[in-house]
Amino acid sequence: MKKTLLSKMSFILIATLFLWMKTYIVYKTSFDIKIESGMQEFILLINPLSFLLVVFGVSLFMKEKRRNYYIVITSFIVSFILYANVVYYREYTDFITIPLLFTTSNLNGLSDSILELIKITDIFMFIDVLFLSFIIRNKGKRSMSAVFTFREKSIYLLMVVAVSLFNLGLAEIERPQLLTRTFDREMLVKNIGPYNYHIYDLVLTSKTKAQKALANSSDFTEIENYLSANYTKPNEELHGIAKDRNVIMVSMESLQNFVINNEINGEEITPYLNDLISNSYYFDNFYHQVGQGRTSDSEFLVDNSLYPLGRGAVFFTNAENEYRATPEILKEENYYSAVFHANNKSFWNRNVIYPNFGYDRFFSVDDYEVSEENSIGWGLKDIDFFNQSVEKMKELPQPFYSKFITLTNHFPYELDQEDKWVDEFTSNSRTLNRYFPTVRYMDESLKLFMEQLKQEGLYENSIFVFYGDHYGISENHNKAMGEYLEEEVTPFQSVQLQKVPLIIHIPGVTDKDPEVISKVSGQIDLKPTLLNLLGVEMKDEVHFGADIFSTDKKEFTVLRDGSVITEDYVYTKSTCYDKSTGEEVDGASCEPLEEKAKTELEYSDKTIYGDLLRFYEEKPF
Ligand code: GP9
Ligand code: MN
């Protein structure tokens, strides 16, 4: 009996249709993709199709029996990729990138967070795969008899090409240069679908590898020229004010600025930090600039004054590069350097990259006594962590540059009952609710840490730099956040919620003359700011930030997603806002800012992808 092409293809088409619809349902239920026109909605609807037709179409060239297994297995794999993105999106409001997948050594520590993010109903995401397996088991014989002629295969191929071009054409009209500008993953997924996006990401990854091979010293000269044209002279009065002091940096996990001097049910959330601020330099307009590498990205920014990457964690993708990080520079000033962090040493690839930054010692989980009693969530509780760290600090050669990375205030913000000193918030976001007690706990740990340092004689001759590493409450919790702040969280507000506290405390100096510095700045500026206080000449060092105390410092901060904040404007998600009113204004006002942000990030990316600092040694400028 002769079958029509359509009936022969019915199994392929059913599988395609299922996944197509499933992807669209996921768009609507699991991702927050902003749609502004009927055209965008249409592109969204059709965009999974081209990839699915290709990947299932491969089966036309297979033997019949194999074909059906291939379809079921492919359907499972593609569903799994979609599902993994759904889970990742629940916390990070972002899509997975290939470099991120190579961070598998991070997964052991993540198991708690993952359990928090998956739901029993997720099983429905695989229901079509079960259904397809059921069909081949029962109707197997019949549907396995189809053989495709050359003509039929050609018709199919033409259809695939037509659908793909149609999709790309519409996307190009809607978003010119979509594929050449890769700031925004949401835009990519919105226009070409999650599967094509992953292929695109794969191509980019290979391109990145090639970039290093092709880079040469003239690329470095270009960076040098850009940086010296934009050089900001540091503040002379403060130069060397903390010379030869021990440096004690604390990376405060997930600490956003909105909790500072704020309350929950009438109680201060950060009583200690509020107190410290009144004896310190406090920067209340300071932004985190991290990408997918989160804590590690903030470390990268702070130690190198280079931007992290738009995709993946630079700690993984470019760990072997040549760097001129702060510990290495301070070594020339006879400093010893150490990091304290009670997590696996390989987490974020730290054990590989730290020696490359010039760190002399990394105290990781193996150096701490960790038990059931003194752990919660991701590991050793902050109070115990600091407690045990002080003992090790006493042994360090001085002066030292040290960094402490806290852990308790990490998603999913678990805490023992006896450590809860303020109430949870009440909203529909468990995450936001639990955030307040863990922040309060971390605040207490910092207070105890300082008290101990005073007792051990490690306080007076030190300079303290406390900074928030990145946001703790993602945009997914905007509604609850709005309830807490008592105002709606618009994209304009969202950008400003990326402020993290920065506190610089110099005993004998800032307690006499504390100051609140409201200049717009970011983590990229911390290295030149600190090194100026330590009396280190920065002019010849490659750095993208500027001394925040400098009167010449421009109020211009670019976040890793390309958003820009200045004194007058906030630019984000292709929209320009007047900062004083929060109103949307004509895009022309932000155009130069957008351009400048793009150039800045491109030059920094180029430095990293091309491993350009390897040319620094040969030719200092
Ligand atoms: C893990 C800690 C937390 O060691 O730095 O990592 P994060 O998830 O915040 O990047
Ligand atoms: Mn972190």
CA–CA distances in Å: residue 12 to residues 99, 145, 146, 205: 32, 14, 12, 31
For residue 84, pLDDT beyond 80? yes
For residue 548, pLDDT beyond 60? yes
For residue 20, pLDDT beyond 50? yes
C-beta contacts of 79-84 below 8 A and 24+ residues apart: 79/19, 79/22, 79/125, 79/126, 79/128, 79/129, 81/194, 81/195, 81/198, 82/22, 82/23, 82/26, 82/125, 82/194, 83/122, 83/125, 83/126
Domain boundaries, the chain: 5-204, 236-383+394-440+457-545
Mean pLDDT of 379-394: 98
pLDDT band at 329 (very low <50, low <70, confident <90, very high): very high
DSSP 615: G
- Ligand 1, atom 9, lies closest to the CA of 295
> Which among 363, 469, 473, 560 is the best mutation to test ligand 1's pocket, defined by most ligand atoms within 8 Å of the CB?
469
Instruction: Give per-residue pLDDT as tens, 346-355.
Output: 888 898 899 9
Tokens matching residue 562: 């390309």
User: What is the pLDDT of the chain when averaged over all its residues?
Assistant: 92
Query: Taking a C-beta distance cutoff of 8 angstroms, is the pair 164, 191 a contact?
Result: no
Give the atom of ligand 1 at the shortest distance from the alpha carbon of 341.
4
Query: Taking a C-beta distance cutoff of 8 angstroms, is the pair 258, 489 a contact?
Result: no
pLDDT band at 187 (very low <50, low <70, confident <90, very high): confident
Nearest listed ligand to the Cα of residue 106? 1
440: number of Cβ within 10 Å? 24
Distance from the alpha carbon of residue 294 to the mean position of ligand 1, in angstroms: 7
Q: Among residues 483, 491, 563, 485, which one has the least CA distance to residue 520? A: 563
Secondary-structure breakdown of the chain: helix, strand, coil percentages, each rounded to the nearest 5: 50, 10, 35
- CA separation for the pair 48, 195 (Å, rounded): 7
> Which among 407, 413, 435, 523 is the best mutation to test ligand 1's pocket, defined by most ligand atoms within 8 Å of the CB?
407
Sheet holding 584-585, edge to edge: 556-558, 564-566, 569-572, 575-578, 584-585
Binding pocket residue ranges, ligand 1, CB within 6 Å: 294-295, 343, 347-348, 405, 407, 410
For residue 392, pLDDT beyond 90? yes
**Residue 290 backbone dihedrals phi, psi, to 5 degrees:** -80, 160
- Ligand 1, atom 7, lies closest to the CA of 295
3-state secondary structure of 528: helix
For residue 63, pLDDT beyond 90? no
Distance from the alpha carbon of residue 77 to the mean position of ligand 1, in angstroms: 29
Q: What pLDDT does 106 receive?
A: 58
pLDDT band at 409 (very low <50, low <70, confident <90, very high): very high
**Residue 344 backbone dihedrals phi, psi, to 5 degrees:** -55, 140
Q: What pLDDT does 224 receive?
A: 94
pLDDT band at 49 (very low <50, low <70, confident <90, very high): very high
Nearest listed ligand to the Cα of residue 403? 1
Mean pLDDT of 321-329: 97
> Which among 110, 348, 354 is the best mutation to test ligand 1's pocket, defined by most ligand atoms within 8 Å of the CB?
348
Query: Taking a C-beta distance cutoff of 8 angstroms, is the pair 362, 339 a contact?
Result: yes
Who's near 38: CB < 8 A, 6+ residues apart?
Answer: none
Could you write out the DSSP letters of every residue in 95-127? Answer: ---HHHHT-GGGHHHHHHHHHHH--GGGGGGGH
Instruction: Give per-residue pLDDT as tens, 452-485.
Output: 999 999 999 999 999 999 999 999 999 999 999 9
Tokens matching residue 492: 């304009």
3-state secondary structure of 556: strand
- CA separation for the pair 437, 414 (Å, rounded): 9
Query: Taking a C-beta distance cutoff of 8 angstroms, is the pair 124, 30 a contact?
Result: no
Which amino acid is residue 459, in one-letter code?
Y
> Which among 295, 343, 346, 471 is the best mutation to test ligand 1's pocket, defined by most ligand atoms within 8 Å of the CB?
295
- CA separation for the pair 52, 192 (Å, rounded): 12
pLDDT band at 110 (very low <50, low <70, confident <90, very high): low
Tokens matching residue 304: 């190198």
Nearest listed ligand to the Cα of residue 254? 2
Distance from the alpha carbon of residue 377 to the mean position of ligand 2, in angstroms: 13
Give the atom of ligand 1 at the shortest distance from the alpha carbon of 109.
1
Query: Taking a C-beta distance cutoff of 8 angstroms, is the pair 175, 187 a contact?
Result: yes
Nearest listed ligand to the Cα of residue 113? 1
> Which among 249, 251, 294, 363 is the best mutation to test ligand 1's pocket, defined by most ligand atoms within 8 Å of the CB?
294
* SS3 per residue for 511-525: CCCCEEECCCEEHHH
Q: What pLDDT does 50 receive?
A: 95
Please tell me which of 110-114, 115-119, 176-180 the model is most confident about, judged by mean pLDDT.
Answer: 115-119
320: number of Cβ within 10 Å? 11
Give the atom of ligand 1 at the shortest distance from the alpha carbon of 378.
1
Rounded to the nearest angstrom, the gap between the alpha carbon of residue 457 and the centroid of all alpha carbons in its chain is: 37
295 is catalytic: yes
pLDDT band at 619 (very low <50, low <70, confident <90, very high): very low
For residue 95, pLDDT beyond 70? yes
Q: Name the maximum alpha-carbon separation found in the chain.
A: 95
Distance from the alpha carbon of residue 386 to the mean position of ligand 2, in angstroms: 17
Give the atom of ligand 1 at the shortest distance from the alpha carbon of 113.
8
Nearest listed ligand to the Cα of residue 412? 1
Instruction: Give per-residue pLDDT as tens, 565-613.
Output: 999 999 999 899 999 999 999 999 999 999 999 999 999 999 999 999 9
For residue 92, pLDDT beyond 90? no
- CA separation for the pair 563, 10 (Å, rounded): 47
Distance from the alpha carbon of residue 19 to the mean position of ligand 1, in angstroms: 34
Distance from the alpha carbon of residue 10 to the mean position of ligand 2, in angstroms: 49
Give the atom of ligand 1 at the shortest distance from the alpha carbon of 405.
5
For residue 620, pLDDT beyond 50? no
Instruction: Give per-residue pLDDT as tens, 239-295.
Output: 999 999 999 999 999 999 999 999 999 999 999 999 999 999 999 999 999 998 999
Q: What pLDDT does 216 receive?
A: 93
pLDDT band at 98 (very low <50, low <70, confident <90, very high): confident
Distance from the alpha carbon of residue 109 to the mean position of ligand 1, in angstroms: 9
Q: Among residues 210, 238, 294, which one has the least CA distance to residue 535? A: 238
- CA separation for the pair 301, 309 (Å, rounded): 10
Q: What pLDDT does 317 receive?
A: 86
**Crossing angle of the two packed helices 107-117 and 64-92, in degrees rounded to 10:** 90
pLDDT band at 132 (very low <50, low <70, confident <90, very high): very high
- CA separation for the pair 118, 91 (Å, rounded): 11
Which amino acid is residue 305, in one-letter code?
S
3-state secondary structure of 509: coil
Query: Taking a C-beta distance cutoff of 8 angstroms, is the pair 246, 506 a contact?
Result: no
- Ligand 1, atom 6, lies closest to the CA of 295
Quick one: 210 exposed, middle or buried, by C-beta within 10 A (0-12, 13-18, 19+)?
exposed
Distance from the alpha carbon of residue 270 to the mean position of ligand 1, in angstroms: 21
Quick one: 372 exposed, middle or buried, by C-beta within 10 A (0-12, 13-18, 19+)?
exposed
Looking at domain 236-383+394-440+457-545, what is its CATH homologous superfamily?
Alkaline Phosphatase, subunit A (3.40.720.10)
- Ligand 1, atom 3, lies closest to the CA of 295
DSSP 60: G
388: number of Cβ within 10 Å? 18
- CA separation for the pair 283, 263 (Å, rounded): 19
Of 295, 406, 408, 510, the active-site residue reads 295
**Residue 516 backbone dihedrals phi, psi, to 5 degrees:** -100, 120
Q: What pLDDT does 145 receive?
A: 59
Higher pLDDT, 102 or 259: 259
Q: What pLDDT does 93 receive?
A: 79
Mean pLDDT of 546-551: 98
Q: What pLDDT does 107 receive?
A: 55
| % residues pLDDT > 70 (the chain) | 95
Distance from the alpha carbon of residue 295 to the mean position of ligand 1, in angstroms: 5
- CA separation for the pair 462, 457 (Å, rounded): 10
Q: What pLDDT does 606 receive?
A: 95
- CA separation for the pair 522, 564 (Å, rounded): 11
Distance from the alpha carbon of residue 254 to the mean position of ligand 2, in angstroms: 5
Mode of pairing for the β-strands spanning 400-405 and 379-380? unpaired
Nearest listed ligand to the Cα of residue 288? 2
For residue 451, pLDDT beyond 50? yes
